[in-house]
């Protein structure tokens, strides 16, 4: 029997993270049991389970959320237990009060969810004495601390590969967009071809978002990470590349959109378009050099220009047909800016 797609993840959590979670839970159970031998260390084990996250920064944040939520939940349960006793209906009252206390304190969702859960568990076991409440807080702090320590000690996660891959794919796709536009400038286009050209160019935006999210996760994975010094240079390089690529996305989209909107069959007679197409191909060539891994082999069809920037100076444009000067002027201006942004001359 196959599980429904709605409850299955697209990919598995890394086995290393599962292993670290298991180790943290075992250690939390054993160590909390030594400090609090009279109770099963359930709170400590749950805290360890929730605290081990894909990054050290997330683990620290989850540990703070979990500990604060338990403290507030225990205080609410203790206060309500002292005021109204331990009747069954008091548990529901504690849950409702906890929700409003979390709202009043503007707690994060993770902390706000923990408060009513803790209050309900503390009252449900029938113990609202100060010793029991204090023990639950200590138990949770122990479990959360162990989760953070385990995540830091055992191969602290570094999520740079997805960012590196996304950024370099984005650069290559911008280059491919420029190449497609260059090819389109040199031949007559049908409405279907024009729409397809624009649609492919618009796919740069989702790729930009994906790269941005991957870089954010990469930066987060290095925060509070003892391995950050070793990997910071790689992330900074990819971040710098992404910053340079973002305006190129706007330029490539703008040029494609202008060609789509102002196209007519008489453009085939414009001699300037052939020169613009050649400069677009040179721009794509240099952009691929910029986007490639430093240690990767250069894959270029021409040995004459392999690995060498070939972008030339801005074009000298002859007077175009009056029907086309808006399009050609737009293309030339965007091409000039692409030239400046690839070479790093833009201000």
Q: Could you report the per-residue pLDDT of 112-127, keeping only the tens digit for each?
A: 888 888 888 788 775 5
In the predicted structure, residue 138 carries a pLDDT above the cut 50: yes
Q: Average pLDDT for residues 31-55, to the nearest whole number? A: 87
Q: Could you report the per-residue pLDDT of 174-231, keeping only the tens digit for each?
A: 999 999 999 998 788 899 999 999 999 999 999 999 999 999 988 888 887 777 777 8
Q: What angle do CA 318, 324, 327 make, to 5 degrees?
A: 95
| pTM of the full structure | 0.70
Please provide the average confidence, as pLDDT, over all residues in the chain.
82
Q: State the distance between the two ends of the chain, measured CA to CA, in whole angstroms.
A: 61
Q: Which of 164, 165, 166, 174 is nearest to 287 (CA)?
A: 174
27: how many CB neighbours lie within 10 A of its CB? 19
Q: Report the residue count for the chain.
A: 347
């Amino acid at each position: 029997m196959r599980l429904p797609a709605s409850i299955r993840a697209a990919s598995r959590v890394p086995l290393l993270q599962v292993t670290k979670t298991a180790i943290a839970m075992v250690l939390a159970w054993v160590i909390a049991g030594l400090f609090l031998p009279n109770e099963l260390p359930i709170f400590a084990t749950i805290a360890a389970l929730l605290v081990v996250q894909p990054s050290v920064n997330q683990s620290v944040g989850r540990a703070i959320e979990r500990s604060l939520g338990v403290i507030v939940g225990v205080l609410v349960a203790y206060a309500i237990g002292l005021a109204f006793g331990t009747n069954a209906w008091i548990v529901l009252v504690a849950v409702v009060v906890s929700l409003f206390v979390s709202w009043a304190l503007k707690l994060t969702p993770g902390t706000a969810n923990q408060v009513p859960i803790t209050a309900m568990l503390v009252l449900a076991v029938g113990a609202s004495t100060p010793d029991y409440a204090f023990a639950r807080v200590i138990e949770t702090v122990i479990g959360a601390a162990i989760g953070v320590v385990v995540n830091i000690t055992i191969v602290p996660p570094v999520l740079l590969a997805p960012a590196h891959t996304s950024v370099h794919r984005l650069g290559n796709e911008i280059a491919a967009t420029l190449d497609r536009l260059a090819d389109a400038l040199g031949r007559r286009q049908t409405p279907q071809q024009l729409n397809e050209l624009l649609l492919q160019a618009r796919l740069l935006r989702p790729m930009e978002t994906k790269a941005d999210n991957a870089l954010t996760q990469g930066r987060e994975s290095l925060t509070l990470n003892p391995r950050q010094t070793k990997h910071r240079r790689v992330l900074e390089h990819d971040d710098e590349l992404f910053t340079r690529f973002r305006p190129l996305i706007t330029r490539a989209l703008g040029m494609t959109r202008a060609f789509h909107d102002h196209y007519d069959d008489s453009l085939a007679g414009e001699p300037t378009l052939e020169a613009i197409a050649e400069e677009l191909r040179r721009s794509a060539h240099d952009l691929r050099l910029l986007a490639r891994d430093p240690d990767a082999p250069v894959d270029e069809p021409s040995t004459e220009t392999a690995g060498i920037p070939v972008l030339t100076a801005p074009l000298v444009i002859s007077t175009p047909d009056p029907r086309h000067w808006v399009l050609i002027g737009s293309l030339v201006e965007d091409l000039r800016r692409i030239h400046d942004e690839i070479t790093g001359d833009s201000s």
